[in-house]
Amino acid sequence: MGKAKFDGYAQEYDTWFMTNENVFLSELKLLKAALDLTDGGRILSVGCGSGLFEKALNDEYGITVTDGVEPSEDMADIARKRGMQVQIATAETAQLEPESYDVIYFNGSSSYIPDLDVAYGNILKALKTGCKLVLLDVPKESAYGLLYLLAGKLDTYAAPELLDTVPACPYPLELVHTAYWHTTEEKSQVLIEHLGLRDLEYRQTLVAHPVYTNRAVEEPIDGYQAGGYVAIVATK
């Protein structure tokens, strides 16, 4: 496998979340709320990164997630130090035991997948029938998504067009450039029409504009049409 997108950025990724602590805690609450819609059991994190969220899930809520898939060696090294068992692979190439997990989630990792059908289709083989797939990420159509699209196009957050619209510590532009942003309805269509999943439920957070989201921790709310971070929970 060649150099993964997050190789060389593992520390920067963690630092960004620690600097934007309230954004992190809002997203963590959304992940916990999404997992509450499942029956629990054996859980897999696809694109687990550095294991930052998994450690916080355990520390804050007593939810243990030790299994992960992650293409970046740099990220996986940190996740392993945090107690995770990580397979170095993409969602498209991961080799997992069929029907072996009760819950599988993608926390932010869908935004780095060009072909959702292939990636989700491969991972779904490892999910038990009747169990839950959980997708969380920044929707393309959200305020955060539009900010990243424009900043990526301009190749800077400092352009006059973005004056007074950018958070104090924005997401690293290098990682914005490597993303594939998807709308919530696009992902939903893939799940329902292409992969045959059902009973979709939605939760959202970061409803405030990106300039203000780090000022306070937000509680997750139902729906998907306003949030800068959205969870979809679907049944196989």
pLDDT in tens, the chain (236 residues): 445 655 555 677 788 999 999 999 999 999 999 999 999 999 999 999 999 999 999 999 999 999 999 999 999 999 999 999 999 999 999 999 999 999 999 999 999 999 999 999 999 999 999 999 999 999 999 999 999 999 999 999 999 999 999 999 999 999 999 999 999 999 999 999 999 999 999 999 999 999 999 999 999 999 999 999 999 999 99
Q: What is the pLDDT of residue 5?
A: 57
Q: Which DSSP category does 157 fall into?
A: S
Quick one: what percent of the chain has pLDDT higher than 70? Answer: 96
**CA-CA distances (angstroms) from residue 213 to 20, 101, 172?**
9, 33, 17
All structural domains of the chain with their residue ranges: 10-235
**CA-CA distances (angstroms) from residue 176 to 13, 169, 180, 211, 227?**
12, 14, 9, 17, 19
Q: What is the pLDDT of residue 15?
A: 87
CB 135 within 8 A of CB 232: yes
Q: What is the pLDDT of residue 11?
A: 72
pTM of the model: 0.94
The domain defined by 10-235 folds into Rossmann fold (3.40.50)
Distance CA 118, CA 110 (A): 12
Q: What is the pLDDT of residue 12?
A: 76
Alpha-helix runs per DSSP H in 6-132: 10-19, 21-35, 52-61, 73-81, 116-124
Helix or strand holding residue 67 (H, E): strand 67-69
**Residue 1: CB atoms within 10 Å:** 10
